[in-house]
Amino acid sequence: MTRYVMVADLRRCVGCQTCTAACRDANATPPGVQWRRVLDMEVGTYPDVQRTFVPVGCMHCADPPCMDVCPSTATRKRDDGIVTIDYDLCIGCAYCAVACPYQARYKVDLVRYAYGDDPMEPEEKRHDPSRVGVSTKCNFCVDKIDDGIAKGLTPGVDPDATPACVNSCIANALHFGDIEDPDSNVSRLLDDNQSFRMHEELGTKPGFYYLWDET
């Protein structure tokens, strides 16, 4: 079995949003639709304050509430753990969006562009009408992963089989790979470090791990 997961090293992340921009670029999402983004969290009161940058997005849960609630079966979980949306099936009810505890889903009804109502050439070229009025979210750059695997590449190791956010990360904070493979990069990181997952108590079994200290 394979389960692809994301690992974010909170010690490294600086909240620069390069992954946010890279994701917007790679997936041609409209302004404001950030499948990958980084939170700027403040903990404590002055002067005992800590500030932490937390990458978030779809957690590709093993038990994804979005999939259960989806009335159209547009949201599915692949055998490799990646949760996908079939834009041709989705009715845009946004039920998945309220079911997701990670605020990872976006639904855009009105087409918007970077500079108003008219698209720039690249936006026009990359505009995908099938994404209008439906739910969208991070898919771990699934097409790239599939293409890469078809070429014999290893997701998370070879850039051509790795999500854009991971390739873009300038702090080497984001990592991607197969958690079921004990020798994978992510398995080693999780072995060598302490980690947590967000909102685990909700029983979603998220596929997004946060490293916070060495073991």
Partner 1 sequence: MIAIAPRQQINWDWRAAGNFVFGGTGTGLVAMIASAVLFGASYPSDAILVGLGFVGAGLFLVLLEIGRPWRFMNVFRHPHTSWMSREAIAAVLFFGTGGIAWLLALEPMIIAAAIFGLIFLLCQAKMLQASKGIPTWREGAIVPLIAATGLVEGAGLLVLLSIVLTGSVQYWLANTLLDLLVLRTIVVLFYAWRLRGPRSPLVVKPGLRRAVWMAAGLGGIVPVLLLLAPPELQQASLLPIAAGIALGTGWGLKYTIVCRLGAMQGFAIKHTPARGGAAPGTSSKPGWSGWL
Partner 2 sequence: MPDPHKTETVPTYCYQCVAGPDLLKVRVEDGVAVGVEPNLEAAEIHPGAGKICVKAYGLIQKAYNPHRVLTPMRRTNPKKGRDQDPGFVPISWDEALDEISGRLGEIRATGLLDESGFPRVAASFGGGGTPQSYMGTFPAFLAAWGPIDFGLGSGQGVKCYHSEHLYGELWHRAFIVTPDTPMTKYLVSFGNNVEASGGVCGVWRHAEARVNGLKRVQVEPALSITAACSDKWVPIRPKTDAAFMFAMLHVLLHEVPRDMLDLEFLKDSTSTGYLVGPNGYYLRDIKSKKPLVGDLDSGKVQPFDKAGINIALEGEWVSDGIEIGPDEQTWRHKKCKVQTAFAHLRDHVEDYTPDWAADICDVEAATIRQVALDFVDHACIGETVEIEGETLPFRPVAITLGKTVNNGWGGFECCWARTVLCTLVGSLEVPGGLLGTAVRLNKPIDDRIESVVPGPDGLMAYPFNPTDAKNWRAKPKIRNAYDTLVPLAGDTPWSQALGPTHLGWLFQDDPPEHLPRPTLPDVWFLYRSNPAISSWDAPGVAEKMSKFPFMVAFAYTMDESNHMADILLPDCVDIESTQLIRIGGTKFIEQFWRYQGYALRPAIIKAKGEARDFTDIATTLAKRTGLLESYNARINSGAVGVKLSGDGYDFSLDVDQAHDAPDIWDAVCRAASSDLTDGAESDGLDWYRENGVRVAPFPQTKWYLYPKMKALGLRFELPYQERLYRIGGELANRLHERGITWWDEQLKEYQALPKWKDFPGLWLEDEDKAEPDAKDRFWLLTSRSMQYAWGGNAAIQIASETGSNIAGHDGVIINRGRAESLGIADGDRIEVCSELRATSGRAVLREGIRPDTLLMIAQFDHWKTPFAKDFDVPSMNTVTPITLKHTDATGSGSDIVRVGVRKIGAAS
List of residues contacting partner 1 (CB under 8 A): 9-11, 37, 39-41, 43-44, 50, 52, 54, 56, 65, 67-74, 89-95, 97-103, 107, 109, 132-135, 194, 196, 198-199, 201-202, 204, 210-214
Hey, what long-range contacts does 87-92 have (CB within 8 A, 24 or more apart)? 87/128, 87/130, 87/131, 87/134, 87/136, 88/130, 90/134, 90/135, 91/134, 92/133, 92/134, 92/135
Residue 25: which of partner 2, partner 1, none does it interact with, CB under 5 to 8 A by kind?
partner 2
Of 213, 214, 215, 144, the closest CA to residue 176 belongs to: 144
Residue 74: which of partner 2, partner 1, none does it interact with, CB under 5 to 8 A by kind?
partner 1
Which CB atom, from 21 or from 93, has the smaller least distance to partner 2? 21
141: exposed, middle or buried (C-beta count within 10 Å: 0-12, 13-18, 19+)? buried
Distance separating alpha carbons of residues 162 and 156, to the nearest angstrom: 5
Which CB atom, from 54 or from 153, has the smaller least distance to partner 1? 54
Residue 120 amino acid letter: M
CB of 151 to partner 1, least distance (A): 34
CB of 29 to partner 2, least distance (A): 11
CB of 144 to partner 1, least distance (A): 26
CB of 188 to partner 2, least distance (A): 14
Alpha-carbon torsion, ordered 70, 199, 207, 92, to 10 deg: 20
Question: CB–CB of 196/186 below 8 Å?
Answer: no
CB of 101 to partner 2, least distance (A): 20
Residues that bind partner 2 (CB under 8 A): 9, 11-12, 14-18, 20-22, 24-26, 28, 31-32, 34, 37-40, 42, 44-47, 49-53, 114-116, 118, 120-123, 125-126, 159, 164, 167-173
CB of 162 to partner 2, least distance (A): 9
Distance separating alpha carbons of residues 119 and 91, to the nearest angstrom: 25
Which CB atom, from 39 or from 120, has the smaller least distance to partner 1? 39
Which CB atom, from 43 or from 150, has the smaller least distance to partner 1? 43
Query: What sign has the CA pseudo-torsion 73, 79, 81, 85?
Result: negative
3-state secondary structure of 100: coil
Residue 210: which of partner 2, partner 1, none does it interact with, CB under 5 to 8 A by kind?
partner 1
